[in-house]
Amino acid sequence: MKKKVISALLSVAMVATLLVGCGSSNTAATTEAPAKETTEAPAAEAPSEETAEAPAETEAGGGLIGVAMPTKDLQRWNQDGSNMETQLKEAGYEVDLQYASNDIATQVSQIENMISNGCKLLVIASIDGDSLGTVLAQAKDAGIPVIAYDRLIMNSDAVTYYATFDNYMVGTKQGEYIRDTLDLDNAKGPFNIEIFTGDPGDNNARFFYGGAMDVLQPYIDEGKLVVKSGSVEFEKVATANWSTETAQSRMDAIIASYYADGTKLDAVLCSNDSTALGVENSLAAAYTGEWPIITGQDCDIANVKNMINGKQSMSIFKDTRTLATQVVQMVDAVMKGGEAPVNDTESYDNGTGIIPSYLCEPVFADINNYKELLIDSGYYKEADLQ
């Protein structure tokens, strides 16, 4: 089933595998362009010389690293950028950290500036995985290695490595949570479910969706799960820019059309916390029935508060400190002329070939374990969630 769903959904042929992951110096300015949107982890074979060359002259623990993040308007990217900058500086690197306000042209310009300013390696969380081919060709010509961060950069042979969480597993855990909580293997049903996934330009969104639907689609096919809105295909349930407002608006329309008469909504599959928040806002305003199961991802503060208050069932916890640590290890290995540690050489084809990857393992947080995962680990302070 896994191969069937992924092959039907992904524009490139990928088979996701389940893998278990996971001095200071002067720093460049950390900036962000004016905001345009409303909201929002056994070594493998070395990459070929055609993909990227290690810098010819590097000192152990030295050099300027460019870190390009998509936006500050989602909490998780602030944490990713901050963790990356802190750990790179502790390893002795200078850091040029930039946020692009979810504007592709801005991100391209920022990367061009990183190249011209002498960055020795680029770590890039892309806004749109297909939008960076031209500027990354400049990086390749300059011999600058590129690590795609969390979002795979597509159709560019300049990408040297990829570091992320196991994105298929994220969706699988969300689907399994709904399956187990509704007891779909034993309960009679039917149960009503709606589906919200992420930005169609984010390659990860298709993995999240594919992993979840591999679990849930059999129950939809047999009629035990019913999607009253009829929106099941990825293109119909995608949410541009992972926007809370867009998800809320779509949920408003779904409630008005299918649940305003008292029809019970049993579950909402949301691929991340910003879409889940939009769904929750809509339910709070217009839905009068029993609160449904709602999934999420990132453990954003607002969503964890909703979890504590019974308005969100779970969220996938991807500890950005773990991913940042892994990326710093990859950066350090490349900057010293070696190969970055990876644990996957099969799953992620960006259209030019398989990109050697390191996949960290996600876990889910819910009301039963959030204190251990989020507070006891020091990720949040208890006061943050009050």
Residue 177 above 90 pLDDT?
Answer: yes
Tell which CATH architecture fits domain 167-317. 3-Layer(aba) Sandwich (3.40)
Is residue 273's pLDDT more than 80? yes
Residue 73 has what pLDDT? 85
To which residue do tokens 């460019």 refer? 66
Average pLDDT, the chain: 87
User: How many helices and strands, by DSSP H and E, does the chain display?
Assistant: 12, 13
- Res 355 pLDDT > 80: yes
Give CA–CA dist 323/20, Å, rounded. 13
Burial class (CB in 10 A: 0-12, 13-18, 19+), 291: middle
Give, in order, the Cα–Cα distances in Å from 117 to each of 60, 120, 236, 272, 277: 20, 9, 42, 35, 39
Write the pLDDT tens digit of every residue in 221-247.
999 999 999 999 999 999 999 999 999
* pLDDT at residue number 111: 97
How far apart CA 28 and CA 44 sit, in angstroms, is 33
Map out the domains of the chain as residue ranges.
15-164+320-360, 167-317
- Per-residue pLDDT at 32: 43
Query: What is the domain class of 15-164+320-360 according to CATH?
Result: alpha beta
Confidence (pLDDT) at 304: 97
Measured between alpha carbons, how far is 44 from 343 in angstroms, rounded to an integer?
7
Please give the Cα distance from 386 to 370 (Å, whole number). Answer: 13
- Which pLDDT score is estimated for 372? 96
pLDDT of 360: 94
Please state, in angstroms and rounded to a whole number, the distance separating the CA atoms of residues 125 and 261.
43
On the question of pLDDT at 56 being above 90, the answer is no
Alpha-carbon distance values, 205 to 62, 123, 129, 199 (Å): 35, 20, 11, 6
Residue 75: the pLDDT is 82
pLDDT of residue 201: 86
Cβ-contact 295, 221 below 8 angstroms = no
pLDDT for residue 17:
35
Helix, strand, coil percent content, the chain, rounded in steps of 5 = 40, 15, 45
Task: Kindly report, residue by residue over 10-36, the tens digit of the pLDDT.
Answer: 333 333 333 334 433 333 444 444 333
Query: For 90-147, how does the pLDDT look when each residue is reduced to its tens digit (9 = 90+)?
Result: 999 999 999 999 999 999 999 999 999 999 999 999 999 899 999 999 999 999 999 9
**Low-confidence winner among 25-29, 78-82, 362-366 (lowest mean pLDDT):** 25-29
Q: What is the pLDDT of residues 185-213, one digit of tens each?
A: 999 999 999 999 999 988 899 999 999 99
Range of weakest confidence among 37-46, 148-157, 173-182, 202-211? 37-46
The answer to whether domain 15-164+320-360 and domain 167-317 are alike in fold is: yes
Is the pLDDT at 67 greater than 80? The verdict is yes
Indicate the pLDDT class of residue 76, thresholds 50, 70 and 90. confident
Phi and psi at 282, nearest 5°, equal -65, -45
pLDDT band at 74 (very low <50, low <70, confident <90, very high): confident
pLDDT tens profile 303-351: 999 999 999 999 999 998 899 899 999 999 999 999 999 999 999 999 9
The predicted pLDDT at position 168 comes to: 95
The order of strands in the sheet holding 94-99 is: 31-32, 94-99, 64-69, 121-124, 146-149, 161-165, 357-360
Q: What is the mean pLDDT of residues 63-68?
A: 97
Residue 44 has pLDDT above 50, yes or no: no
346: left (phi over 0), alpha (psi -120 to 50) or beta: alpha
What was the pLDDT predicted at 106? 97
pTM score:
0.75
Contact 95, 88 (CB under 8 A): yes
